[in-house]
Amino acid sequence: MATGVVARVLLDSPLPQLDRLFDYRVPPALHSQARPGVRVLVPLRSAGRQAKGFVVEVVDDGEFEGVLSELDDVISVAPVLHPDIYRLIRRAADRAAGTASDLVRLAVPPRQVRVEKSWLAGDHSRGALPVAPTIDGYAQHDVSSLIRAEHTELAGVAPATAPGRRIALTAIPEPTRLQGGEWVPSAQRTLAQLAVATLSAGRSAIISVPDYRDLDHLAACLAELVDSEHVSRIDASQPPASRYRAFLRTLDDAPVIIIGNRSALLAPAPRLGLIALWDDGDDLHVEPHAPGVHSRDLALLRQEDTGCALVLASHARSTDVQRLIEVGWLSAVEPSPRRRRRIMPTVHQVSAEGPAHQARIPSSAWKVVSEALATGPVLVQVARPGFAPRVACAECGETARCERCRGPLALPRAGSTPSCRWCGSLAVGWTCSTCDSARWRSAGRGSTRTADELGRAFPGARVIVSDGATPVQRAPGGRTLVVSTRGAEPIVPGGYSAVLLLDGESMLARESLRVVEDCVRWWCNAAALAAPDAPVLLVGVGGWVATALATGRPEDIAERELADRRTLRFPPAVRVAALIGTSDAVARAQQSLEGLDGVDVLGPVALDDGRVRSIVRLDVARGSEVASRLKAELVRGATTSAPAIPGRPPRRRVPALRVRFDDAEPFDDHASPRASS
DNA sequence: AGCACGCCGACT
DNA sequence: GTCGGCGTGCTC
């Protein structure tokens, strides 16, 4: 039916039953302002009740057959939800049985009126684009074709079929020096060069990295290649005003380099030419809020939408990337000439006596470290922060547990009172629950205890401790031992003269689906901070993993891990969806999936809060079907309240059903009492 | 979320 | 015969 100008509006509401477009008539006074992307105010259900929303499209003819209400107002003419971004968000939400508005929250930062006004009034012209830099360390035909391919796309090559435009890039495993003297990981410089090359071709680039240290390195690399007016930094840590300003800048017509973490992938980049993702195996790439999308998925979807180039770069390949390579979606690109970092396994044969014995360092490693210390700093990677990661009863040897919450106790520093790793409470007057003894002893070694021991083993060396709570950004050169927990390793000028990966055994002992690939990633990332020919030693790990590392072929590990997961039907060989809720709701959700090929369900198992959990495993090809059926169950669960049992529970406040896609945690099999939160 | 509609029990 | 309880369902 002809209804005049109609705005199709996405409501700003987390309710799954409102997660679709609503049609509103646009009154003539608002015709010029009600453009796609603007924030609007609309009536909902009854006059007087208003909801906020975003205009997704403006059409002459709505789809809705009934009587249309009128748009109440246009909040601002800034087109903050770009139609391309809406489409991306819609696809990402549908893949994960989530709502579009959950993702809009990530994509569009909270409005800042002053910032917006000055942007609307401002001048959006930019200076000249930079010239294309060379991309160091890679064969020109490998990487430059990424950028050049953009022009063939304009000539009409179908984006999804053009070959060689989606690559898994193995990063150069060594630090590099910028002109200003600052040292950064080579990987960050490569990504910056790729982005600037893209910009010089008149196209935007997005680079997403997991943490703020990567982001700072990236910003430093870009600073010497391109004027800051061409760079926009999108991350949630900045103050609201600058965050909104950086976001609005990506709405301009001029191409821009967008750097940031997860939400950078949802920034509206004009003429997008490149998406690059650093270290996709890092779980900081998983959005903690519902529906928990992974940056890698956003990158893949957006690449498909736009036909831009895609680079997934890392030192150690994730099984997810391995899968994409094996199905032919990505092609692997290596530095040229090949730079392989060999990580040498060291038999855990502790010296019989002397300071190395005290520090529990194998004698061969002790020799390497003492020699390396003469030429520069040495990195020692350990598994855990603090002094002792575990406290045990001195009588019976049982792990000491918190008397309040049963969490394990740890010793934050030498001589301190043990405290609970879960609730943090101090274990004053602790007694063993097994044998009633009041005496405890520390067990295991954390970063500070290792540092103490190493300081004694290598007299005269300066010892620096870096961990997640107090990370050290840069350590000085010279005779320095840097003891660091994984992920907190500082970069040093010229690279470390040796790297010692000390707690391989205990890191691998963790019960998790992804232990092996996580450990390999941590080790390879630490190894990449070493000087080019410096020795890298791994203590306490043998077998096929050690062989692959010793030959400098970590991708063999990804390949084998993926093969194992295929036989076991574990992710990423299949997708998974966790169903959590009342046993009724979970059972109904399972029923809704009956009759689908390539779908099986594990569970339900009871959780400790009375709810149950099932794990749905599905072939990758079944994704949209399973997600849409589960979404329908979520809508039903939110719409109809559960059949009230005449017994106890009168009204439930928690949602009856929660669905979470592609979360490996259910397979991790560590029954932590915190799982309920 | 809010808010209206409707069906059932207790009231003037 | 009618008032109002809250369970049920819809929102352009």
List the single range of A242-256, A460-474, A481-495, A541-555 with lowest mean pLDDT.
A460-474
Spatial separation of the C-alpha atoms in residues A118 and A95, rounded to whole Å: 37
**What angle is formed at CA A626 by the lines to CA A105 and CA A573, rounded to 5 degrees?**
95
pLDDT value, residue A19: 94
Spatial separation of the C-alpha atoms in residues A548 and A523, rounded to whole Å: 13
A138 pLDDT tier (thresholds 50, 70, 90)? very high
Residue of least CA–C1' distance to C11 = A45
Average pLDDT over residues A433-452: 82
Residue of least CA–C1' distance to C9 = A639
| Distance in Å, residue A45 CA to nucleotide B5 C1' | 13
Among A383, A320, A342, A382, which Cα is nearest to A528's? A342
Does residue A69 reach within 7 angstroms of strand C, measured from its CB?
yes
pLDDT value, residue A670: 40
List, in order of start, the domains of chain A with CATH numbers: 5-109 (3.40.1440.60), 140-339 (3.40.50.300), 344-389+444-565 (3.40.50), 575-661 (3.30.70)
pLDDT value, residue A263: 94
Does residue A64 reach within 7 angstroms of strand C, measured from its CB?
yes
Q: Using a 7 A cutoff on CB, list residues near strand B.
A: A 15, 17-18, 44-46, 48-49, 638
Q: Is the pLDDT of residue A160 over 50?
A: no
- DSSP, collapsed to helix, strand or coil, labels residue A453 as helix
pLDDT value, residue A362: 80
Most confident range (mean pLDDT) of A59-63, A372-376, A472-476 is A372-376
Nucleotide nearest to A13 (CA to C1'): B1
The mean pLDDT value of chain A amounts to: 87
pLDDT digits (tens, 9 = 90+) for A298-323: 999 999 999 999 999 999 999 999 99
Residue of least CA–C1' distance to B2 = A49
Does residue A275 reach within 7 angstroms of strand C, measured from its CB?
no
Nucleotide nearest to A653 (CA to C1'): B1
Bridge partner list, A464: A482
Average pLDDT over residues A491-515: 91
Among A675, A645, A642, which Cα is nearest to A656's? A642
Tell me the pTM. 0.92
Confirm if A359 and A450 have CB atoms less than 8 A apart: yes
Bridge partner list, A169: A313, A333
Higher pLDDT, A296 or A636: A296
Among A339, A292, A336, A270, which Cα is nearest to A84's? A270
| Distance in Å, residue A287 CA to nucleotide B2 C1' | 30
pLDDT digits (tens, 9 = 90+) for A243-289: 999 999 999 999 999 999 999 999 999 999 999 999 999 999 999 98
Other CB atoms within 10 Å distance of the CB of residue A141: 10
pLDDT value, residue A605: 92
Does residue A440 reach within 7 angstroms of strand C, measured from its CB?
no
Chain B: bases < 7 Å from a protein Cβ: 1-4
Does residue A636 reach within 7 angstroms of strand C, measured from its CB?
no
